[in-house]
Structure 1
Amino acid sequence: MRALTWHGTKDVRVETVDDPEIVNPRDAIVKVTSTAICGSDLHLYDGVIPGLMAGDILGHEFMGEVVETGPASTLRKGQRVVVPFTISCGGCFHCRVEQYSACENSNPVEKQDASAALYGHPMAGLFGYSHLTGGYSGGQAEYVRVPFSDVGPVVVPDHLEDEKVLFLSDILPTGWMAAENAEIQPDDTVAVWGCGPVGLFAIQAALAMGAARVIGIDHYPHRLELAHKLGAETINFRESHVREALLEMTGGIGIDAAIDAVGMEAHGFAIDNIIDVVKQKVGIGIDRASASKQALLAVRPGGRLSVPGVYGGMTDKFPLGALMEKGIQVRAGQTHVQRYTDRLLAMIEEGVVDTTFLISHTLPLEEAPRGYRCFHDEQNTWTKVVLKPGMEAQQ
């Protein structure tokens, strides 16, 4: 089969690789019909996530048709499914309390030591996201093996086209959980750092949860335009001092809640961020956490910070004093996708939630390297890339 493989920083290639096979009774094989490039895939593209090996198949946002099942799978051949990026067994302590992204059994034992050394506990398994998360092949491919297929995949009705449901795999529930973690109350003012895909869905979710005001922060004009169309006020951080603008917009009180949808490769000209960029480039392993730092200083005393943006290592000059002295609550984590899929699928069917506005480009799988390059370099106009295995390349 054909698949998108990683070979180093900014070096991804579509190659012919072995077809996946059933290896566990609970497995299923899915023929991929649509797969997307996620903002967190760009961290892999930039080489700032450890644990990748040459030839690894990328991609964790995908859906398709079930073509083969193990004897313990609950899926049937021919069903259309969206596959959560979190691989979860369904039976461990964390899965039983719906903390699916902390599953204790999906990361193979022989892969657990590296992430346990970094984070204190092993990470759960994730598709296409390094050997820290199990080394599972991802979905930017013609076919993919889906472990624990009796727990994760969401069967979707035939009348909903791929583009309407694909993002149930990651970014839609990620944006929803980000807003939920912000514990939004009526009359809250919420600021969202980053108006990329997760940030835009977080804006949509925050408004749906009753926030009185949502403020989107970015520097790409088109992203800010999309945020405005969703109902958000906006700040261009290239043109305004963000904390001063937020204080002015809230009468000097500060925002009630902040959502950092940026993560470990933040932009900006603050001196600490410039130093972090240098350290990240030379491989010291420092996350560029200026969005979270800025959010902590902007949130009012007693406020909340939600962090869906991906961080992978350490960070310098973190304002721990502001966190403690202001009494700020912080919630973060990989998304417990399976907790939200049924509710969000119903909202999509009812027309309450729209996801298609985000898609700017649809490409054949064979053009995935161009998709990565443009999504990385032209983020103002390339807001979301969907790849289609089997789609003919443009001449």
Structure 2
Amino acid sequence: MKALTWHGKGDIRCESVPDPKIEDDRDAVIKVTACAICGSDVHIFHGLIPSMENGDILGHETMGEVVEVGKGARGLEVGDRVVVPFTIACGECFFCRKGFYSACERTNPDREKAAKLWGNSPAGLFGYSHLLGGYSGGQAEYLRVPHADVGPIKVPDELTDEQALFLSDIFPTGYMAAEFCNIEPGQTIAIWGCGPVGQMAIRSAFLLGAERVIAIDSIPERLRLAESAGAMTLDYMAEDIYDRIMEITHGRGADACIDAVGTEADSRASLDSLVDRVKVATFMGTDRPHVLRQAIHCCRNFGTVSVVGVYGGYLDKVPLGSAINRGLTLRMAQTPVQRYLPSLLDRIRKGEIDPSFVVTHRGGLDDGPELYKTFAERKDGCIKVVLRP
């Protein structure tokens, strides 16, 4: 089959690889009908994610048609149309029973490596390094889905692939980011990053009752898309974000702040963001947490900072003194997608949201390497890429 594979920083290839097979009774194999390039895939493209190996198959936003089912994958049949969560979960361990599927104790065979870096291991993920299981991803013609009786959700015929595809990651992630804020009527939510997850967070914040959403970015296409959802937009290259948020909120700060950017904050945004980039480039740091610092400072006393942007290591000069002395709550997670799937699928079916609004670019697997560059370099108004194998 064809698949998109990683061969080093900036080197993504479309090449032939062996077809996946059933390896366990709880496996299924799907024929991929749509997959997407995620913002966190760009971190891999830029060489920032450790434990990638030559030839690793990428991708964790995937849907398709079931073509083979293990005898233990209850509830699935050949021909079912499904979306596959990016988090792989057994459904039986301590954390899965609590609904924390992204912390599954059984699905990361490389858990000892992860524990050395993070103190403990999260769940395995599709297409996201050998820290997180080394699983083949879904930017391919076919995908093996472990624990298929726990992960995939069936998609009703009336929904298009593009309406359903983002249940795999960015819609639950954006929704979780907003849910973490415990939004009450009349509140103001500030969101850094108007990429795909940020766009989902904007709409989710309104769905959950926010009166005002402040969306922060510098890319005109992203800001326009945020405005179309009703957000007030701020360009961090044109104005001081802290000063403007304090002005808008009469000196109090936003009720909650969402970091939907993560480790690759724009180094042009401020002096500290430039220093972060120099530190990472010279191996004196692992991440660029400018946005997290700013979100903490812009949040009102006893507010919430919700972090869904990806960070991988150790963050410099994060102002915990500010957070502690002002009573902030910090909430963060890799999304336990399975927990959100039924309710979010229902919101799509009811017409409360159509996640396909975010798609700007489409192509086949052969177009994948070039589309990775387009997305990573934010060219041609690219916000979200969908591939059809």
Q: What does 1:183-222 correspond to in 2, within 5 Å?
A: 183-222=182-221
1:76 and 2:77 are equivalent in the alignment: yes
CA deviations over 1:127-148 (Å, ceiling 9, x no partner): 0000111000000000010000
Q: CA deviation at 1:183?
A: 1.2
Identical aligned pairs, as a percentage?
Answer: 53
Q: CA deviation at 1:187?
A: 1.1
Aligned equivalent of 2:222: 223
Larger displacement relative to structure 2 (349-358 or 193-202): 349-358
| Residues 3, 14 of structure 2: 8 Å contact kept | yes
| Residues 61, 84 of structure 2: 8 Å contact kept | yes
Paired letter, 2:111? Q
Aligned equivalent of 1:173: 172
Q: CA deviation at 1:355?
A: 1.1
1:383 and 2:365 are equivalent in the alignment: no
Q: What does 1:146-295 correspond to in 2, within 5 Å?
A: 146-267=145-266, 268-295=268-295
Aligned residue-pair number:
387
Q: CA deviation at 1:272?
A: 2.0
SS in structure 1 of the partner of residue 83 of structure 2:
strand
Q: CA deviation at 1:275?
A: 1.6
RMSD between aligned alpha carbons? 1.0
TM-score, normalization: structure 2? 0.98
SS in structure 2 of the partner of residue 151 of structure 1:
coil
Q: CA deviation at 1:280?
A: 1.9
Aligned equivalent of 1:330: 330
| Residues 63, 80 of structure 1: 8 Å contact kept | yes
Q: What does 1:92-171 correspond to in 2, within 5 Å?
A: 92-108=93-109, 111-171=110-170
Larger displacement relative to structure 2 (310-319 or 277-286): 277-286
SS in structure 2 of the partner of residue 40 of structure 1:
helix
Q: What does 1:353-392 correspond to in 2, within 5 Å?
A: 353-378=353-378, 381-389=381-389
Q: Structure 1 CA distance, aligned partners of 2:263 and 2:385?
A: 21
Paired letter, 2:15? E
SS in structure 1 of the partner of residue 258 of structure 2:
strand
SS in structure 1 of the partner of residue 214 of structure 2:
strand
CA deviations over 1:243-301 (Å, ceiling 9, x no partner): 00000001111111000000000013322211211222344442111111000001111
CA deviations over 1:113-161 (Å, ceiling 9, x no partner): 2110111101210000001110000000000100000000010012211
SS in structure 1 of the partner of residue 36 of structure 2:
strand
Q: What does 1:302-313 correspond to in 2, within 5 Å?
A: 302-313=302-313
Q: Structure 1 CA distance, aligned partners of 2:57 and 2:341?
A: 25
Which 5+ residue runs of structure 2 have no aligned equivalent? none
| Residues 27, 146 of structure 1: 8 Å contact kept | yes
SS in structure 1 of the partner of residue 274 of structure 2:
helix
CA deviations over 1:297-335 (Å, ceiling 9, x no partner): 011111100001110011111111111111100000100
SS in structure 2 of the partner of residue 132 of structure 1:
coil
| Residues 220, 380 of structure 1: 8 Å contact kept | no
Q: Structure 2 CA distance, aligned partners of 1:283 and 1:131?
A: 21
Distance of aligned partners of 1:379 and 1:308 in 2 relative to their CA distance in 1, 3 Å threshold:
farther
Q: Structure 1 CA distance, aligned partners of 2:347 and 2:122?
A: 30
| Residues 223, 380 of structure 1: 8 Å contact kept | no
Q: Structure 2 CA distance, aligned partners of 1:277 and 1:365?
A: 32
Aligned equivalent of 1:9: 9
Aligned equivalent of 2:25: 25
TM-score, normalization: structure 1? 0.96
Paired letter, 2:52? L
SS in structure 2 of the partner of residue 131 of structure 1:
coil
Q: Structure 2 CA distance, aligned partners of 1:210 and 1:352?
A: 13
SS in structure 2 of the partner of residue 216 of structure 1:
strand
Paired letter, 1:259? I
| Residues 187, 212 of structure 2: 8 Å contact kept | yes
SS in structure 1 of the partner of residue 7 of structure 2:
strand
Q: Structure 2 CA distance, aligned partners of 1:223 and 1:125?
A: 31
| Residues 296, 319 of structure 2: 8 Å contact kept | yes
Q: Structure 2 CA distance, aligned partners of 1:287 and 1:335?
A: 20
SS in structure 2 of the partner of residue 8 of structure 1:
coil
Distance of aligned partners of 1:169 and 1:388 in 2 relative to their CA distance in 1, 3 Å threshold:
same
Q: Structure 2 CA distance, aligned partners of 1:380 and 1:249?
A: 32
Which 4+ residue blocks in structure 1 deviate beyond 3 angstroms?
Answer: 282-285
Q: What does 1:42-53 correspond to in 2, within 5 Å?
A: 42-53=42-53
Paired letter, 2:120? H
Aligned equivalent of 1:86: 87
